[in-house]
Amino acid sequence: MANTTSASVTAGDYIYVFFNQGGNTKIHGYRFTESDKEPQPFTINVDSKDDISKGGEIAALYLSVNNKDEIHLYYIGQEDKPADPTNIQWNQVNEACLHGAKAKATDPASWTRTGMDLNLKRWKGEVGTYLAASLSADANQFPRVFYRAKDTTDVSMAEFNINSTTHKKDWTTTPLTGTSA
């Protein structure tokens, strides 16, 4: 699903990701590591039926869970001609992950797209939405993604919920008080 360099990722590394100018089905990025002090480029190829929104943003999150490295990428997926425009997956916030040794680039073509079922249409991402990712402040360090909901100025937060049984349903979304800039 992706091509990346052999640069390793360790706790404390800095990761920066950006869209390619074409805005089609590829994410180009650079990984800056404390050890190398050099940017290491990588590319993620997203399924053509789930294109990255033109003019959109991507958020990257690095975690070290139980001494296992993980890289999480979040982006807005868009179909040019969706078979069903009312489908919740259209313009949905998507997640791609690298886990464990794969996050250290020992297995470079191993990005897993997990999907995020946020259940309600108003929680879909607007094309061009700016995404931000962070960790919850508690000991669980759940991933959190902030984005502007489609057709509103409301900012929403999607948070990973470890109590669920299927990954897509692990995500719950809370509209936040306030509006986007």
CB environment 53-87: b (16+ within 10 A), e (fewer): beebbbbbbbbeeeeebbbbbbbbbbbeeeeeeee
**How many C-beta atoms surround the C-beta of residue 46 within 10 A?**
21
- What average pLDDT does the segment 146-163 reach? 71
Domain boundaries, the chain: 2-179
Q: Is there a contact between 72 and 103 (Cβ–Cβ < 8 Å)? A: no
Query: Which DSSP string do the residues of 39-63 spell out, in sequence order?
Result: EEEEEEEPPGGGEEPTT--EEEEEE
- What average pLDDT does the segment 38-42 reach? 65
- What average pLDDT does the segment 141-163 reach? 72
- Confidence label for 1 from pLDDT (cuts 50, 70 and 90): very low
- What digits encode the pLDDT tens for the residues 85-137? 655 555 667 777 766 655 555 444 456 666 666 655 555 666 556 677 777 77
Q: How far apart are CA 41 and CA 4, in angstroms?
A: 7
- pLDDT of 162 > 60? The answer is yes
- pLDDT of 14 > 60? The answer is no
- Confidence label for 74 from pLDDT (cuts 50, 70 and 90): confident
3-state secondary structure (DSSP) of residue 170: helix
3-state secondary structure (DSSP) of residue 4: coil
Q: Is there a contact between 69 and 8 (Cβ–Cβ < 8 Å)? A: no
pLDDT at 78: 60
**Arithmetic mean of pLDDT over the chain:** 62
- pLDDT of 155 > 70? The answer is yes
- pLDDT of 157 > 60? The answer is yes
Q: How far apart are CA 106 and CA 179, in angstroms?
A: 42
CA 62 vs CA 7, 59, 94, 117, 175: distances in Å: 15, 10, 16, 22, 24
- Confidence label for 176 from pLDDT (cuts 50, 70 and 90): confident
- What digits encode the pLDDT tens for the residues 19-31? 544 555 566 666 6
Q: How far apart are CA 123 and CA 178, in angstroms?
A: 15
- Listed residue (76, 68, 62) closest to 15, CA to CA: 62
